[in-house]
Structures are given as C-alpha cells and as structure tokens.
C-alpha cells in the first residue's frame, strides 16, 4: 500500500515525504543520544551529590556537641555560615553539581526543540493532507501525530526530572537531616519521573524508525 | 586383592580433590561477586527507610506530584534487580554444593564397596608424599559439609528477606558477613596443599 501511495504522489510531494521521514528518524536518534548523555550526567552528578552529603555528615558529626549545648535557633545560623566559609571542597563540589545541572538544562533545551520540530512536521502534514493526515504511515505503523505525542511525553518526563534535580541542587548542601539528604540522593539517582514506560517509549520510537531491528 | 581396590580408590580421591580445587575457586569468586550486591541491598534498605521517615509534604520536595510512591517504586524495583542478581549467584553456590556432594558421595561409596579389601593398616598408612586414605576421606567430608551448610545458610538468609521488612534487609549485609568462616575455608586450602604431591603422583 505504501508503495502504491508513493507512486501516486507527485514528485514535489515525494521530496517532502522523505524530508519528514528523515526529520523524524534523525529526531529519534537525537532522543537516544540525548537520553544517553542525560544518564551519564546523572551518574556523574550522583557521585558528586554523595560527596556533598558526606561532607555535610562529617561536618555535623564534628559540630554535634555545639548543637547540643546551644539552643537550636542560635546554633543553626553560625554553623551554616561556617560551612560556607570553612569548606572550600564542599563549595567546589556544589559548583560541579551546578555544572552538571546546567548541562542537563542544555539537554532539556534540545529536547524541547525536538518537540517543537515534530509538532512542526505534524502541522505541515495537516497542511498537506488535511485533518485525517497522510494515508499511509511514514515508517511502520505510527501516525505523524504519534511521533509528536511521544516526543512531548518524553520531554515532560525529563522536564520534571530537571526541576527535581534543580531543587536537589539548591537544598542538598543546606540540609542537616540525614534522612532527607538520603531521599535527595535517591531521587537524584533513581529519577522517579523517568518511568519504565518512558524507556519503553524510547525503545518503541527507535524500533518504529528502524534504528532498532524488528 | 587389595591393590586394585586401593588404586581405584586413590584414583577417585585424586579426581575428587581436583574437583574441589576447581569448585573452591568458583565458590570464592561467586562470594566476591555477592558482596557488592549485598551491600547495595543494605543501602537500598536505608534509602527506603529514609523515604519512609521523611514527610515529603514538609520539605522543599512538596511540589513534586506523587514523588513518594514513585521513588518507592523505583527503589523497590532496584531491590528486585539486586535480589535477582543475588539469586543467580546463589545458583552458582548451589552448583558447587551439588558437584562436591556428588563427588564425595561417589568416593565414599567406592570406599564402602571395597571396605573389606582395605584393611585398617592400608587406610591409615601415610607416606612423605601421600596422606592416609582416612585423612583424605575426612577432609573431603569436611569440605562437603562446609559447602552444604554454607549454601543453606546463605540461601536461607536471602529467602527470609522481604521488601516490606526493612529491618531484616538493613541487617542483611552484617548477617551475610557473619556467615563467613575463613578458618573452615582455610582448612579446605590446607587439605589441598597436603594432597598436592598425592595428586601429582599417578
């Protein structure tokens, strides 16, 4: 059916068709690479975050006697201040983590571009073929709209992750609650908003576009 | 009459010690691979405990929807993965136990079948290069017993772990380490040293 359809389309449109398909396929590859980079940054960041928490723990264990003696309100402020003044290593790790988050933000920006790009491809198709879209799918079974949907679903997951990581970055070095620090670390590493079906979605995208063998 | 039986038994003993030697390495490397898994299990239990004891609504994370169940799910999944890997290692340990038990049983069977033709003197006689048959049988029995008990203890430890019982899971690394018995392991190595000349002689 696909064959028949492409035969029937005029040459000009055929060129456009290849264009859309190429775009979608390249985008799928970009998704794969961006997520791979993201995972690498997550691992790197996790190691840094662990160091930050360890610095904090060793600091608080040293200062424990002070905190017990002095009442809470007055002990907090100087200890916070001292943490910033006296621990250049902690500060350095925080800068490193900041860099990681910045890189992730950059990745998210690229993801956003893919989403708008695919929406564009879909809009173009609507313009060409009307609301019902092209009669035969570009690849195996997915409609062009599905590509746009899948991309925005992936984007939303990583957007939420970035927001979570930003919060962790802001709070990690300032929390004295070890349990909370641990939760931050787990959140960073286990990425609660990247669900199992997020990975499945990526795999289906790669399969649909022929990057993965059927 | 006793000579062929003795030779046969010696042959079988050699084979058995050879397999102990191989299995000892398999066992050791499986245990080495277990230790990071066990410690990550303890670590995950700690993370689950932390998540349980923090009221996310009163933390800077309060704006993130469903964070608690999502993270809980992720951690539970990680626990599952680790347990899956551990049960693979336990299968390796089981393999060592099975093969040792089988071989040692075969040697003992052979001994019992020929017990009549092997008098006490033959069994306890030893030379500069060869320990006595009685000693060797005892060492094999000790090794077999060690792998059998160790396997059951370690498997039992993992079996009793439940994802909702954090205390057990937190204690797992310590309990796992407490099962190590280097002196018994060393006795197997000692036995292998003692039979090294015997194994080379044919």
ipTM of the complex: 0.79
State whether B64 and A185 contact (CB < 8 Å). no
Range of the domain at A187: 19-208
Give whichever of A5-19, A81-95, B4-18 has the largest mean pLDDT. B4-18
Using CA coordinates, name the residue in chain B closest to A165: B61
Contacts of B112-119 with CB under 8 Å at 24 or more apart are B114/B5, B114/B8, B114/B9, B117/B1, B117/B2, B117/B5, B118/B2, B118/B5, B118/B6, B118/B9, B119/B2
Q: Is residue A2 in a domain?
A: no
Give whichever of A88-92, B115-119, B144-148 has the largest mean pLDDT. B144-148
Give which of B148, B174, B135 is closest to B27, Cα–Cα: B148
* Domain total in chain A: 1
CB B108 within 8 A of CB B63: no
User: From CA B151, how far away is CA B87, in angstroms rounded?
Assistant: 12
Q: Is residue A41 in a domain?
A: yes
Residues shown for chain B: 202
State whether A183 and B51 contact (CB < 8 Å). yes
Q: Is residue A14 in a domain?
A: no
State how far residue B28 is from chain A, nearest Cα, in angstroms. 30
State whether A177 and B61 contact (CB < 8 Å). no
pLDDT, average across residues B23-30: 96
Q: Is residue A12 in a domain?
A: no
Angle at A162 between CA A158 and CA A163, to 5 degrees: 120
- What is the pTM (predicted TM-score) of this model? 0.81
Q: Which of B55, B70, B79, B170 to mutate to test the interface with A (most CBs of A within 10 A)?
A: B70
Confidence band for A131, pLDDT divided at 50, 70 and 90:
confident
C-alpha to C-alpha distances, A73 to A67, A70, A77, nearest whole angstrom: 10, 8, 7
Chain A residues in contact with B47 by the CB 8 A cut-off are 182-183, 185-186
Of the listed ranges A55-64, A118-127, A155-164, the one predicted with least confidence: A55-64
Give which of A37, A193, A213 is closest to B68, Cα–Cα: A193
Query: A191 touching B, CB under 8 A?
Result: yes
């Amino acid at each position: 059916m696909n064959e028949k359809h492409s035969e029937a389309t005029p040459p000009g449109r055929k060129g456009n068709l290849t264009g859309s398909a190429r775009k979608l396929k390249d985008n799928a590859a970009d998704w794969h690479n961006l997520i791979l980079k993201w995972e690498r940054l997550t691992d790197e960041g996790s190691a840094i975050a662990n160091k930050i928490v360890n610095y904090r723990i060793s600091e608080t264990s040293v200062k424990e006697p002070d905190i017990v003696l002095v009442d809470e309100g007055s002990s907090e402020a100087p200890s916070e201040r001292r943490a910033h003044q006296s621990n250049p290593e902690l500060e350095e790790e925080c800068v490193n983590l900041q860099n990681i988050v910045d890189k992730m933000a950059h990745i998210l920006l690229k993801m956003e571009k893919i989403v708008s790009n695919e929406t564009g491809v879909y809009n173009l198709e609507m313009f060409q073929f009307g609301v019902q879209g092209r009669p035969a799918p570009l690849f195996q079974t997915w409609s062009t709209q599905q590509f746009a949907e899948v991309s925005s679903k992936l984007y939303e997951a990583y957007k939420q992750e970035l927001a979570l990581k930003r919060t962790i970055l802001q709070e990690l070095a300032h929390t004295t609650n070890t349990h909370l620090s641990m939760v931050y670390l787990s959140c960073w590493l286990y990425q609660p908003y990247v669900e199992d079906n997020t990975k499945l979605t990526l795999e289906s995208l790669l399969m649909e576009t022929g990057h993965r063998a059927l | 009459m006793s000579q062929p039986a003795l030779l046969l038994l010696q042959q079988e003993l050699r084979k058995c010690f050879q397999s102990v030697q191989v299995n000892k390495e398999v066992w050791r490397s499986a245990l080495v691979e277990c230790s990071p898994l066990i410690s990550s299990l303890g670590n995950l239990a700690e993370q689950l405990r932390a998540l349980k004891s923090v009221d996310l609504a009163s933390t800077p994370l309060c704006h993130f929807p469903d964070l608690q169940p999502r993270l809980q799910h992720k951690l539970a999944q990680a626990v599952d993965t680790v347990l899956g890997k551990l049960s693979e290692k336990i299968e390796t340990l089981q393999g060592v136990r099975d093969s040792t038990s089988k071989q040692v049983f075969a040697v003992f069977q052979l001994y019992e079948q020929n017990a009549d033709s092997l008098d006490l003197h033959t069994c306890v006689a030893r030379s500069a290069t060869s320990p006595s048959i009685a000693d060797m049988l005892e060492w094999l029995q000790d090794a077999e017993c060690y792998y059998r008990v160790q396997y059951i203890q370690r498997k039992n430890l993992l079996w009793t772990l439940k994802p909702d019982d954090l205390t057990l899971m937190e204690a797992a690394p310590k309990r796992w380490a407490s099962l190590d018995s280097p002196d018994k392991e060393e006795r197997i190595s000692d036995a292998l040293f003692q039979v090294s000349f015997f194994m080379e002689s044919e």
